[in-house]
Chain A
Amino acid sequence: MEESRRDFLKKAGMGSLIGLGVFKTLDKIGVEDAFASSTKEGTSGTRLGLVVDARKCKAGCTECINACHAIHNVPKFEDPKDEVKWIWKDGYHNVFPSKSGQFIDDETKEKPFMALCNHCEDPPCVRVCPTKATFKREDGIVLMDFHRCIGCRFCMAACPYGSRSFNWNNPRQKDGNKLVGGKDIDPSFPTRERGVVEKCNLCAERLAKNLIPACVEACPEGALVFGDLNNPNSKIRQILKSNHSIQRKPELGTGPSVFYIV
């Protein structure tokens, strides 16, 4: 049978279209399967996180801040522009700026909210760090390798939660024996040096010794709960199951691992 050039090209075109369609579909199924069966980060399947129960948090109490800042040698600068903080207190409007603040009840308005690094599932600070000084561990902790930080502060610009502080000055006093602010240095943990960014490390050094984070341990009200968010039987998941919780700025898609019960 004689076939015209035109017919041949038509058939070939149809054939390749069908072929592409099949591959595309297969591809899609494959990708969706991969998402369904694995967690987003790492292989260990752990995602460490915190629940902050703001109902229990007392206004005048600073136990968690004191404990954290003492063991991590966080200095206290007078000038708020120089402030270095790992965990701090802030108002509802500042912690949850995307929530409606109109006609807000007095209790919520005056209640303190503990803010700290959210150890995001998809951390923007990690994405922008040019030296990979900030990285995400397999268990979900967003950690800093101070050795590698060059102080470019991209991470500070990227973090939507203000969780990162820059050392504008030497955190140690001139004679080197005390921190700025007068506190003693804990010799088991390093200080930082001028020109380095720092933030909460979810007490990675304590977790290595099977201790819970210092802030959780120090809280006299039990307002902070630490655990594995990927384990449905963990205490933290039980609490999240029975209480309404919110995250900070979830609309940004960073997937914060710190949950608030308001």
Chain B
Amino acid sequence: MYDTGKILIGVAIFLIIAIFPFLLGVGDSSQAPHPVVLKAAGEQCIESAAYMRANHMQMLDQWRDDVVRNNDRTYTNTSGKTFTKSLSNTCMDCHSNKKEFCDSCHDYSSVRPYCWECHVEPKETN
């Protein structure tokens, strides 16, 4: 076999580069970063926070079909209260900071919803 030494050196360099990030983190037991979600202005969301966290995408998807295609613009929540089905005009009334409410989580989970290409985000007040 030719050039065994050179090959071994090359492999060693490759391995060092490959495991470099892990070597850097040895002994560092800090938590994985978590997105910070801003608390909303209102007292109570239309459904429980856990439900909204898990299902807001399906809900918004359902809402847009209901509103645009079926002209059904009122949402009745589990406790019987009614709301207008609108992202810009209902959700964003309380969750008025898109950057710290929507984006922080969406960036973290690497999802890119295109709501805001058309819908207008509220002007930042704080």
Please give, as numbers and ranges, the residues of chain B lying within 8 Å of A143 by CB-CB distance: 68
A135 to B65, CA, bound (A): 12
Please give, as numbers and ranges, the residues of chain A lying within 8 Å of B71 by CB-CB distance: 137, 204, 208
A192 to B120, CA, bound (A): 10
Tell me whether B104 is interfacial, beta carbon within 8 Å. Answer: no
What are 21 A-B interface contacts by the 8 Å CB criterion?
A135-B69, A137-B71, A145-B68, A147-B64, A147-B68, A185-B120, A186-B120, A187-B88, A187-B120, A187-B122, A187-B123, A189-B120, A190-B88, A190-B118, A190-B120, A191-B118, A191-B120, A192-B118, A193-B114, A193-B118, A208-B73
Q: Which residue from B64, B73, B117, B122 sits with its C-beta under 8 Å from A193?
A: B117
Binary interface profile of A, 189-208, with partner B (CB < 8 Å = 1, else 0)? 11111000000000010001
Q: Which of B87-126 contact A (CB under 8 A)?
A: 88-89, 114, 117-120, 122-123
Please give, as numbers and ranges, the residues of chain B lying within 8 Å of A77 by CB-CB distance: none
A189 to B114, CA, bound (A): 16
Residue of A137, A143, A189, A190 with highest tally of chain B CB at under 10 A: A190
- The chain A residue with its CB closest to the CB of B117 is A193
Please give, as numbers and ranges, the residues of chain A lying within 8 Å of B123 by CB-CB distance: 187
Q: Which residue from B73, B89, B118 sits with its C-beta under 8 Å from A146?
A: B118
* Chain A binding surface, main DSSP class: loop
Contacts beyond the supplied A137-B71, A146-B68: 10 A-B pairs with Cβ under 8 Å = A143-B68, A145-B68, A185-B120, A186-B120, A187-B123, A188-B89, A190-B118, A190-B119, A193-B118, A208-B71
A186 to B64, CA, bound (A): 19
* Chain B binding surface, main DSSP class: loop
A143 to B64, CA, bound (A): 14
Please give, as numbers and ranges, the residues of chain A lying within 8 Å of B117 by CB-CB distance: 193
A163 to B106, CA, bound (A): 38
A189 to B117, CA, bound (A): 12
A66 to B116, CA, bound (A): 25
A225 to B88, CA, bound (A): 30
A146 to B117, CA, bound (A): 11
- The chain A residue with its CB closest to the CB of B61 is A147
Residue of A145, A187, A193 with highest tally of chain B CB at under 10 A: A187
Binary interface profile of B, 46-74, with partner A (CB < 8 Å = 1, else 0)? 00000000000000000010001101010
- The chain B residue with its CB closest to the CB of A144 is B68
Q: A187-B88, A188-B88, A190-B88 are in contact. Are A145 and B69 (CB under 8 A)?
A: yes
A135 to B119, CA, bound (A): 21
- The chain B residue with its CB closest to the CB of A143 is B68
Binary interface profile of A, 67-78, with partner B (CB < 8 Å = 1, else 0)? 000000100000
A204 to B120, CA, bound (A): 19
- Nearest Cβ distance between residue A243 and chain B, in whole angstroms? 31
Please give, as numbers and ranges, the residues of chain B lying within 8 Å of A193 by CB-CB distance: 114, 117-118
A190 to B89, CA, bound (A): 11
- Nearest Cβ distance between residue A175 and chain B, in whole angstroms? 13
Binary interface profile of B, 4-44, with partner A (CB < 8 Å = 1, else 0)? 00000000000000000000000000000000000000000
Please give, as numbers and ranges, the residues of chain B lying within 8 Å of A185 by CB-CB distance: 120
Which 5 pairs between the two chains have the least Cβ-Cβ distance? A190-B118, A193-B117, A187-B120, A190-B119, A145-B68
